[in-house]
Amino acid sequence: MTVSLGRSSAEREMHGKQSHIVPSDPLTGRPHSKNHSTEAGALSPDDLTRLRRILCEHISRYPLMEIRDLYKLIHQGAMGSEHAVSNVEAARSWLMEELSQLADGPADPAVDRISADGQIVRVHLRPFMRSGGDPNLLLAAFVRTANEFPGSTERLQKSWFLAEEMADAKEAPFARSDMQAFFERMQWHGYSAAHHSSAYQQAYRPAYRVVLRRYLSEMGMTE
């Protein structure tokens, strides 16, 4: 697949603030965490119901999901992007390379809401490209999201506690003690982002970008 990723006018208006990349990703040469908010972390009963539905759906869709994959899902929904996109050209190259190497994968939806309030979504690259999506617009939405969404550690904590309760209720296939131990390690590292597990990568070949839902219309997308 050959994909042209020339600069769009939306990208030219962007300045390097901050985004989601774990340290080994090629957008940055070093860890660069955002200043996440400890405020705006309240989850209403309706939020918890929606989040439970999201987690159940992903556990069902991706049965080989491990604890770190669940954490990645919850982390993205609560924190958005973890690292600064200080180099848009590197982000462009990363996206172009990933699109050129897309292989067959599961029947992911084009858009996955992954936050309790519906603000944050995953845009899956395979259905996005099959539908004629514009990579430039996706890149612009990804960078803008990375730079604008502050995230909330309080929301991350509350979301993870819900997941632990789901494990107790046998709605998640993990031991609560293992989940607590994993979360404590991530907390020790400042709630850092995580890679997908090897099993998840091999089985599902995840390929997506995390963006704010309000940018979908600018990308010509609907849910």
Tens-place pLDDT, residues 116-166: 999 999 999 999 999 999 999 999 999 999 988 988 899 999 999 999 999
pTM over 0.85: no
Q: What's the CA gap between 219 and 117, in Å, rounded?
A: 21
Q: What's the CA gap between 125 and 146, in Å, rounded?
A: 18
pLDDT band for position 3 (cuts 50, 70, 90): very low
Q: Is 1 a member of any domain?
A: no
Query: Tokens for 220?
Result: 């010509």
Do 208 and 124 meet the contact criterion of CB atoms below 8 Å apart?
yes
Whole-number pLDDT of residue 29: 36
Do 46 and 175 meet the contact criterion of CB atoms below 8 Å apart?
no
**How many domains does the chain divide into?**
1
Q: Is 12 a member of any domain?
A: no
Do 78 and 115 meet the contact criterion of CB atoms below 8 Å apart?
yes
Q: What is the mean pLDDT of the chain?
A: 83
Q: Which structural domain range is residue 214 located in?
A: 18-30+40-219
What single DSSP character describes residue 218? G
